[in-house]
Homo-oligomer: A and B are copies of this chain.
């Protein structure tokens, strides 16, 4: 069963806005066994909207639109679709009452223009909108389903979940989508591809998408099947082989974020942490404290840009900075050990480097970062030269530091994963 999605709105044809509603709709439709075969984005002109529906209805069993149901005259989806199907628009008193009440609850009179949102094509089912004034509309014509939804994402999602899912479920095929999500850090996309392409290409019924993001790569194997249990087994088998190939580069197989996995590892090991950052400017502390409950493991952090601050806040001796330079293995180690000692934390992170764009030198180019992790009886330290701009350099440095924390603990004690 195929669906097409039409996003209506002239603002979606500017350089500023993307139709993101279709991602939500595609995810939900896929779970119902329905594929999205095409998407169109059209402006507010009634003729354009009409053409888009006309073409889509020639191809797909289900046509879903978002947008163009507002009260103002540039909202024309209702009118265009009624015109295309030859259906009269009639005022629905119940819907009008609902809209009036919404305004009353906000102590405002309903503007006359909102009456338009209570106009309903003959024979349409009304899909109530608990979060706004424009109801969704459900139409059936010659074995095709047409679903009109408002554009604001929270309204669109609310109506879809409450009204559309169960209606589509009645008609949708036995085929279902089963999927997995594997998250990886600490390796490049081409290296990962090299290791796992032989695995996933040997499963021709599984569609595998690889998404490279900031500091991590996601592997999404998906399988359409009438036999969900068999599909699950196939995906488990595939996932198992990928786990063997990528080993501890995998930090999550259940969609958990990297920060949460690191936090879970700290909590599972009753460990605490403190940070002393120079070039990353507090990014490591901020990522460690993004997770609810972070006060259980995060003790303190310092951001010490100047040499004086490195001495004052993390106890790095001025002689060490003078002898080796602020960007050096020795200073990274002293930052990590100093902040660990002063805070009393189990682990201390020290980072010093050149994030750029200025400040590089031939022997210490922009992107040079020293990272140190101090534990009770050993301190680990490495020098990196990260590519990219200031933001990318900082992100990669924070990613390495946090990944060292995760891998500091034995594999069985890393919380999630």
A interface residues (Cβ-Cβ under 8 A, vs B): 11-20, 23-24, 26-27, 30, 35-43, 48, 52, 55, 207, 209, 211, 220, 222, 275, 277, 280-286, 288-290, 292-295, 298-306, 309, 312-313, 342-343, 356-358, 390-391, 394
Given known A300-B303, A302-B313, contact A27–B40 (CB-CB < 8 A) = no
**Do residues B23 and A20 form an inter-chain contact, with CB atoms below 8 A?**
no
**Do residues A13 and B37 form an inter-chain contact, with CB atoms below 8 A?**
yes
A280 CB contacts on chain B under 8 angstroms: 286
Chain B residue nearest to A289 in the complex (CB) = B281
CA gap between A13 and B19 in the complex, in Å: 12
**Do residues B306 and A299 form an inter-chain contact, with CB atoms below 8 A?**
yes
Q: A14-B220, A295-B305, A300-B313 are in contact. List 4 more A-B contacts (CB 8 A).
A: A281-B282, A295-B306, A298-B305, A301-B302
CB distance from A3 to the nearest CB of B (A): 10
**Do residues B303 and A302 form an inter-chain contact, with CB atoms below 8 A?**
yes
**Do residues B43 and A40 form an inter-chain contact, with CB atoms below 8 A?**
no
A220 CB contacts on chain B under 8 angstroms: 14, 16
**Do residues A300 and B289 form an inter-chain contact, with CB atoms below 8 A?**
no
Q: List 16 A-B contacts (CB under 8 A).
A: A13-B35, A13-B38, A14-B220, A16-B220, A37-B43, A38-B40, A38-B52, A275-B282, A282-B283, A282-B284, A282-B286, A285-B303, A286-B286, A298-B303, A299-B306, A302-B302
CB distance from A295 to the nearest CB of B (A): 5
A36 CB contacts on chain B under 8 angstroms: 13
Which of A27, A39, A343 has the most B CB atoms < 10 Å from its CB?
Answer: A39
